[in-house]
């Protein structure tokens, strides 16, 4: 049977490029694309089929920041498929991003500018808010919605003849300093995106410990700095146009400046071809592009504490129990 691949956040950026590249790798897969509304899903499907007319492409509608939507799509997927071979947990948001230009100036004076430009450490802030479920929106969309989806799809992911894979889109901006167990939704800070990505890294580490013996393996990737709808909201478009020649030059020194969604999907596609048993659960796989435009993957050890990861996982289970009580009618 063909392998079934689910991709969230597939309507643009790295998600769309990933779908196209996966079909180039294996045109026999059944690709299921998950977008926030039917209109986007169908438009994305048409775009993919225009390049791959023989491909098997289906769609589902899901808003990862809405638990009812997540539960409904999980129920739909359980009815449609007998198993899932790959789930790319790629959807994410960065609302109201702001650049701290004073921090950039200090970085220039202290020699830390290149590090700040490649990790956004101390540079990017976001303004978060509560969603309809009473959760912090960034945490809910980037991490918790995906966590609930995985939990609801365990019957399709575990105990199959061949291993199933979870591949999370993380970031080089995932930093321990932005994350706190006592405020894991990041309600009190201004780096919700960084916190949610560090939480993603922690979650993946524990999922491997819990589920490898059931044939489910989890990995995290960093697409690098990709020009997409998310990054274009950070600065006005005319500024990006002025900066692009400089960014191409920076890539000679900063290999994570992948810049295009196609390049940013390199690590995602590389993992598609690997045997999960050979991968290190404590490694993040980074998409990189050389100054001359060659794509490659660089594995880097994650800065995660396994005890913290386990404590955080328990908090996720407690939050799951607490929040799902109101949605008993959507549970089997």
- Give per-residue pLDDT as tens, 20-32: 999 999 999 999 9
pLDDT level of residue 122 (50, 70, 90 thresholds): low
Domains held by the chain: number: 1
Quote the pLDDT of residue 184: 97
Q: Two tokens at 244?
A: 């692009």
For the residues 56-84, what does the mean pLDDT come to? 96
CA distances, 157 to each of 165, 211, 212 (Å):
8, 10, 11
For 14, other C-beta atoms within 10 Å of its C-beta total 32
Q: Give the residues across from 189 on adjacent strands.
A: none
pLDDT level of residue 229 (50, 70, 90 thresholds): confident
Per-residue model confidence as pLDDT tens digits over 271-325: 999 999 999 999 999 999 998 889 999 999 999 999 999 999 999 999 999 999 9
Which residue in 193, 198, 257, 313 is the catalytic one? Answer: 193
DSSP 217: E
Q: Is residue 227 part of a domain?
A: yes
Q: How far apart are CA 207 and CA 243, in angstroms?
A: 40
pLDDT, greater one: 45 or 114? 45
Q: How far apart are CA 195 and CA 178, in angstroms?
A: 5
The question of whether 285 is a catalytic residue gets the answer no
Question: Which residues form the domain of 213?
Answer: 3-96+134-330
Q: Is residue 129 part of a domain?
A: no
Q: Is residue 124 part of a domain?
A: no
Cβ within 8 Å of residue 20, ≥6 positions away? 48, 51, 52
Backbone angles phi, psi at 78, to 5 degrees: -65, -30
pLDDT, greater one: 285 or 115? 285
Q: How far apart are CA 249 and CA 323, in angstroms?
A: 48
Q: Is residue 315 part of a domain?
A: yes
- Residue 107 pLDDT more than 90? no
Q: Is residue 219 part of a domain?
A: yes
CA distances, 227 to each of 235, 244, 260 (Å):
11, 10, 6
DSSP 2: P
Quote the pLDDT of residue 246: 78
- Residue 117 pLDDT more than 80? no
Q: Is residue 176 part of a domain?
A: yes
The answer to whether the Cα torsion of 213, 85, 135, 124 is positive or negative is: positive
DSSP 90-135: ------S-EE-HHHHHHHHHHT-HHHHHHH-TTTEE----B-TTSS
For 231, other C-beta atoms within 10 Å of its C-beta total 15
Strands 98-99, 124-125: parallel, antiparallel or unpaired by DSSP? antiparallel
Quote the pLDDT of residue 120: 64
Q: How far apart are CA 185 and CA 225, in angstroms?
A: 24
Task: Please give the model's pTM, rounded to 2 decimal places.
Answer: 0.91
Q: Is residue 91 part of a domain?
A: yes
Listed range (96-100, 134-138, 176-180) with the worst mean pLDDT? 96-100
| CATH code for the domain of 297 | 3.40.50.720
Q: Is residue 111 part of a domain?
A: no
């Amino acid at each position: 049977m063909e392998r079934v691949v689910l991709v969230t956040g597939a309507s643009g950026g790295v998600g769309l490029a990933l779908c196209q590249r996966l079909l180039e790798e294996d045109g026999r897969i059944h690709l299921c694309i998950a977008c926030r509304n039917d209109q986007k899903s169908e438009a994305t499907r048409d775009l993919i089929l225009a390049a791959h007319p023989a491909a098997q492409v289906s769609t589902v509608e899901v808003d990862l920041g809405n638990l009812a939507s997540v539960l409904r799509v999980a129920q739909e997927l359980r009815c449609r498929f007998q198993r899932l071979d790959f789930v790319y947990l790629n959807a994410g948001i960065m609302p109201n991003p702001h650049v701290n230009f004073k921090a950039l100036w200090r970085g220039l004076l202290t020699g830390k500018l290149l590090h700040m430009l490649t990790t956004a450490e101390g540079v990017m802030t976001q303004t978060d808010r509560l969603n309809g479920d009473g959760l912090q929106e960034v945490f809910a969309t980037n991490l918790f919605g995906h966590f609930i989806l995985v939990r609801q799809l365990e019957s399709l992911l575990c105990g199959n003849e061949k291993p199933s894979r979870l591949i999370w889109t993380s970031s080089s901006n995932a930093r321990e300093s932005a994350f706190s167990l006592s405020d894991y939704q990041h309600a009190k800070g201004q780096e919700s995106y960084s916190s949610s990505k560090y939480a993603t890294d922690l979650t993946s580490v524990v999922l491997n410990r819990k589920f490898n013996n059931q044939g489910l393996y989890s990995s995290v990737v960093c697409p690098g700095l990709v020009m997409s709808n998310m990054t274009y909201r950070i600065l006005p478009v005319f500024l990006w146009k002025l900066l692009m020649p400089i960014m191409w030059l920076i890539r000679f020194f900063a290999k994570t400046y992948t810049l295009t969604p196609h390049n940013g999907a390199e690590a995602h596609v590389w993992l598609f071809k690997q045997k999960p048993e050979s991968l290190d659960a404590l490694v993040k796989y980074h998409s990189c592009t050389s100054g001359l435009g060659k794509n490659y993957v660089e594995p880097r050890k994650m800065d995660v504490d396994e005890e913290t990861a386990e404590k955080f996982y328990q908090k996720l289970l407690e939050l799951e129990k607490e929040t799902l009580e109101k949605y008993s009618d959507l549970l089997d």
